[in-house]
Structures are given as structure tokens and as C-alpha cells.
A and B are shown apart, each in its own frame.
Chain A
């Protein structure tokens, strides 16, 4: 390797001298460190405060409580990575769950047909958001604020305001809520679905060109376009994949709630954004990991569960989640500022 002598020196990457900037650079390179630490500390604290916290039954409960947020949170992560945001996620999930249940129960089709159609409907919902963002160049915040109301209205219209009981549906549609024995813990199939999806989407993001392009679009969309990336196509695909993931989330929602109801998952919008942000993904796009969102969902679940176990009022659970979100965004700002 021939390196002209006069080019040395300026070419080396300046060693970072003070501790703060070194910490920043490490956190920049490994965004999941923050959430991992928070989760471990929370687990430790709650296990000291409550004997029941680490019991197999309780851990099983926590995972089941986070599976819906975890699954739709993967879709939300993709959109936030492109510097967008999706406020319609909760009502897309509700809408798709009602469509799925109606196809199966009212029309009497087999579960697999209802499920596959629901996945198509979810993807179409995501595509609608994507088309409005890409085609009309509207801000994602406004588009999804609008479609949130639209999907809520459609959910109420189709369901007539009434829930469809899980007991009336084909078994496949409630399968996500049923569980199997793993060691001394019971694991819901929906949790397995969540983990499989985290692995699949992580692969797509980290190991394929599409994934690089998703990050590049979120980082700097003009630079991405000048680098020859078809940014509109990337954005559209992200919204479509997110819609597909919301449809899977709808399936998990039916399993978890034991019903398809227009009242379900009213908090899913903000909960999914919380999970993404607490998981270390930057709201400004281009930085973050899907596995972080899984951790973020688990952290929220652990705080809610742990605080409930030690007998703290519900309102303090909300307080804790709020504080976590602000801390996570503040940390992200600090990391970004330091790296420039």
C-alpha cells in the first residue's frame, strides 16, 4: 500500500480526547446500548422490589402485553427511519382486524383466506399513506393524521360499533393469542411471530441494498437521490411494508384481545412511537434499529408491569413512560450534536 508521506496526518481520523465525545461516538455506532442498559436496570430494580416480577407467569404476561406494540412498532420504525412518522398505525391495525374478522365470520370464509386478504388490505392501507406522501408530497404527519381519522371512521362503519368475539372466528385468527410451553414459561405464538419479524426486517435493513437505501433516504433525501437511489420508490415500499406489518399486528391484536373491536388499541399509535423512540431510533431519520424497537416495547411493558406489581397507581405508569420518551429523545439529540 503506497501512501504519499505528505498525505499523512490530516488523513488520520482525529482521536477523540474527552470522555463525553468518546461516549457519544460509541452510542452513535451502537444505538441499542441505551435501551439495553435501561432494560437491564429496570429488570434488576423491579426484581428486587417484587418477588413475582421474574416469575415465569409474569414474564409470559409481559411478552404477551408487548407483542402487538412490538409488531406494529417494526413498521413504525421503518417509517421513522425515513424521517417520517405514522399516526394512523393504531387505526389501520383496528381496521384490518375488523375486516379480517368480518371476512371470516360474516362471509364464512376459511381463516387462511381471511388472513391473507387482511394482509393485502393492510398493505393497501400502507400504500395509500405512501402514495399521499410521495405523490402529493405532503408531510407524513399530516397524511397519517388524516388517514387515522379515515380508518377509524371506516372501522366504525364496517363493525357498526360492535365487537366480533374471537370465539366466533376460525381458530387461525385467534392463534396468535394461544400459547405453548417453553421450559417453565408459556409463550404466545404472537410473541414468536414478533421475534421472527424482527429478525426478518433486521436482515432486510442491514444486509440488503433496500435497507441501505431506507437509511440513506432518511438521512438526506437529496443526497440519496443524487447518489442514484430511486427515493420515491423506496419511500413507497417502506409504507407498503409497514402496512403489511400492521396487518400482522392486527392478527396479533385479535389474539391478544380475544376479539376484533373498534375500541381496541386506541393507544397503539403513541405506544408504537414510544417504543421506537425509547428503542434509540432517531425521530430525525436515518439512525436506529428494529431490535431497538423490540427493546423499547419491552421497556414500556416492564415499567407498566413492574410498577403495577409493586402497587403504584396506574397514573405513575404513564408518568414513567412520558419521562422515558423525553429522556430518549434528549439522549438522541446529544449524540447527534456531538458527532458533528
Chain B
């Protein structure tokens, strides 16, 4: 099987700091791959390169086996790859529907849309409502409600729903549960499984070992700018993974 997204030997330096020193990475269709690693191991930089927010200094990125060159966050999107950043990248004072469609708004059909550039606000609200319902994120459907008035978990839900709604192949989630309570984290993990069950692949960065071992199919362990190894929850325990992560065990 061809990986949905694959990185081969990518490097990235910021001045003297060599954040990535030849990393390989791959994720298969319908698979949840977690990326773990200590602070400064290069997790965030790796994700930025995979999502197009940063351009690697060298190495290759392949989507469905084809070599690609991402030029910005919106270029990876054209390949069906959606990213949920830790900062969520939502616009707090815009409403839920506007946020879901931010940057790819739909216009009305006919002359209203082509000449007067009028947005299909009603259609987008209905779609947004349907998406959030399918994912079971919001049971109250006021799509006109500003995101500012939502709780942390609900905002996360909106951001993940946006990825699920528009991504066809892969969702990259950066620390999706970092700011959430236990109950809300559980919901987000359910959400991750749901989008995997829809056939999308998921790449997940997390510090939370129990969560990683709960949802991930494979775990990419990043250490000192390189991929230390890839393990599975079946073959390794969380303690093994931490040992590899910190360098206590060499692979």
C-alpha cells in the first residue's frame, strides 16, 4: 500500500539550530499515527513541514507516492490534507459557520454570486450544522454564535470538524487535547476515531502517553531531530516509548 503522506530524509534548520536532521515519516490510508518526542525533538517542525507551513531545507515529501512541493498552508490543502494547529487558527469573533468555511467561502449561485459576490450564508450554515451534528460535536445548533462564546472543547471541535469536513485524505492534529479537561479530551479522541473510520488518515502530536496508546495505530518516536523508531501499542508499552524518547533505551 502507498502511504497517504510520506517524508523522506527531510532536514530543516533555523539559523544554527538543526531542528530536523534527516527525518523519515509515513502514514497509511485510514491509519492514526501519533508523533511523540521530548521538547525540542522536532515534532512541531516536522508537522509544519508536513502541513506546508514550513518548507524543508532538503528531502522529499510525497502524497500518494507523488513528489510534491508545499508552498504554504493552503497548498497542502489542495491535496486533501488539513491541519488543526495548537492555536486552533479560529477567528474568535466570527461565528461557527464562518469559521468552518473561513478561507474557502461559498458564493451564491447565479448573478448574485458571480457579479455581486454574495456569500451563500444560509447554505454554509446548513452544511456546518450538518457536519457538526454528524461528528456529534454540537447539540445546540446556533451556527451564528461567535466562536468566542464556546468552551475550549467546543472550539477544538469546530477546528477538528473543519479538518474533517474539508480534508479528503489526512488530518494533522497538533496537541488537540492539550488545553482540555478529561471529559472533553475523551470527546476529541472519539472524534479522531470517527474521522479515521470515515477513511481519513490522522497524524496526531501529543504529550499524553495514555491517550496516544489509546488511539494510535502506530507511534512515530522523534528524538534529537531524527526518527528514533516507530512502535505500535501492541509491541511496546508507554514506558518503553518514554525510554526511547528520552534516550534511556537506544534503538
Contact = CB atoms under 8 A, between A and B. Distances in A.
Given A215-B94, A226-B73, A339 B136 contact: no
- In the complex, which range does the number of interface residues on chain A fall in? 35 or more
Interface string A1-21: 111100110111110000000
B44 to A, nearest CB: 13
Interface in A203-231: 207-210, 212-213, 215-216, 219-220, 222-229
B69 to A, nearest CB: 17
A226 B93 contact: no
Contact of A8 (B117, B139, B149): B139
Given A209-B119, A216-B91, A228-B104, A4 B136 contact: yes
Nearest to A223: B89
Q: Is the interface of B mostly helix, strand, loop or mixed?
A: loop
A69 to B, nearest CB: 25
A286 interface: yes
B87 interface: yes
Contacts, number: 115
A60 to B, nearest CB: 33
A315 B183 CA distance: 59
Interface string B71-83: 0011001000001
B90 interface: yes
A207 B107 CA distance: 9
B134 to A, nearest CB: 8
A223 B87 contact: yes
A209 B94 contact: no
A209 to B, nearest CB: 4
A227 B103 CA distance: 6
B146 A28 contact: yes
Given A220-B91, A226-B53, A340-B148, A7 B187 contact: yes
18 contacts: A1-B133, A3-B139, A7-B136, A10-B184, A207-B116, A208-B117, A215-B91, A215-B94, A216-B94, A219-B91, A219-B92, A219-B94, A220-B92, A222-B87, A223-B90, A224-B102, A228-B103, A339-B146
A30 to B, nearest CB: 11
Given A216-B94, A223-B89, A13 B105 contact: no
Contact of B117 (A209, A220, A225): A209
Given A225-B73, A286-B93, A212 B119 contact: yes
Interface stretch (B17-25, B150-158, B203-211): B150-158
Nearest to B98: A212
Nearest to A285: B93
Contacts of A212: 94, 98, 102, 105, 119
B238 interface: no
A45 B50 CA distance: 63
A10 to B, nearest CB: 6
B79 to A, nearest CB: 13
B126 interface: no
